[in-house]
Copies of this chain bind each other. A is one copy, B any other.
Amino acid sequence: MVVVQKFGGSSLATPEHIRRVAARICRERAVGRQLVVVVSAMGHTTDDLLQALLTLNPQAPAREVDMLLATGEQASTALLASALWGMDCPAVSLTGWQAGVSTDGVHRKAQIATVDPARVRRECAAGRVVIVAGFQGLSPDGEITTLGRGGSDTTAVALAAALGATTCEIYSDVDGVYTADPRVVAEARRIPAISYDEMMEMAHLGAQVLHIRAVECALIHGVTIVARSTFTDGPGTRITEVEPLEDRSLARAVAHDRNVAKVALCGVPDRPGVAYRLFAALSQRHINVDMIIQSQSRDGKNDIAFTVASDELVHAQESAQAAAADLGAEAVLAADGYAKVSLVGAGMASNPGVAAAMFAALADAGVNIDMISTSEIKISCLVRREHVDKAVRAVHTAFALAEGPVEGSLPRTPTVAATRRRIGP
């Protein structure tokens, strides 16, 4: 049975890192595992390439950005394959297009359309460890396209699905998914297992361990993801379909995202189709909109506010201004400097006390809430960026997330009663 593994940039930062990854692959192969390995670019290569490009042209076309960035992963594959040969382990590197990864052709944010695993299968059958460049694939026009940040995770899961592998191991410099970012909350605890839904919310909410599209892809194809550390042999976090247990109905983790910006259209005439025209314009530019709030109508006019990633603020503002002129809105406000703090856990929506407890924790910590959005399994609050750390700590403490289950079993989350005791009046 083939196992797909993915190693991120921090696991491949230097030749010494690459050698360690190669040694790990050799050990696994020695015990009979057939491996397909997806790699990212080394260390900060992608950022460095992008920096060089923006020096030359801050508005470099997305097609050219892809052409440049794709070299980073390709270089990683050749270096890792060569390191493996140096350890007497037969290996072969493949670019995205050689590995049969086809995309929808949207530069810088391509989605994988299909994976034809014929070449990968052939190389596996020939006894080679196959090293595949993540983050890239070929468009229908024969252009090199990249999948956007974190896209290598998606490559790995899509390859696992195409190969019929049941498990995809994602290696990084952290040893799993935590109840909060350990750099912010010292007592944060690794979660042994988490459901696809919860993990998608967490990825969406800013947890850096896994890319949301990878989790979606794993859910659709029934691939179990194991998030592990390259540098230790811990069990990591399994992302899979966990059984519904009574005590899984509450908070599991706090996620946060520091890079949030807000755009607001004020005084938009209250007509059908207004929201559609605004968000269609944003979607055409491939800008991901996150929280959306429409205020109560007043004098036949609405305010519509939404959030985007900070680095998309300029484009979002342009789109919003064009739409505002078109719709007859009175003004467009745009501001960076926000962050989002989210509490995640399956079935939280059915416990209204959870939201109240979260708001109380933030209020006690002196954090103002700017926007709120909820789903079946999460509550998100937009706060000022400078408040994000204390907000995360306050929520983590309020829900007693550090008090975890015994290692290896499914996690137990605190009851609302326990939570209330902690934040209580």
Interface residues of A (CB under 8 A from B): 15, 18-19, 22, 49, 52-53, 55-61, 63-65, 67-68, 70-72, 74-75, 77-79, 81-83, 85-86, 92-93, 95, 98, 142-144
Contact = CB atoms under 8 A, between A and B. Distances in A.
Given A67-B74, A95-B144, A79 B61 contact: no
Given A68-B78, A78-B67, A56 B18 contact: yes
Interface of A is mostly: helix
Nearest to A58: B86
Count of identical protomers in the assembly: 2
A56 B86 contact: yes
B56 A82 contact: yes
B75 A61 contact: no
Nearest to A51: B15
A56 B15 contact: yes
Contacts of A82: 53, 56-57, 60-61, 64-65, 68
A57 B22 CA distance: 12
Contacts of A72: 71
A286 B370 CA distance: 69
A55 B15 contact: yes
Given A52-B79, A79-B52, A61 B85 contact: yes
A74 B74 CA distance: 11
Given A15-B52, A15-B55, A79 B75 contact: no
Contacts of A61: 81-82, 85
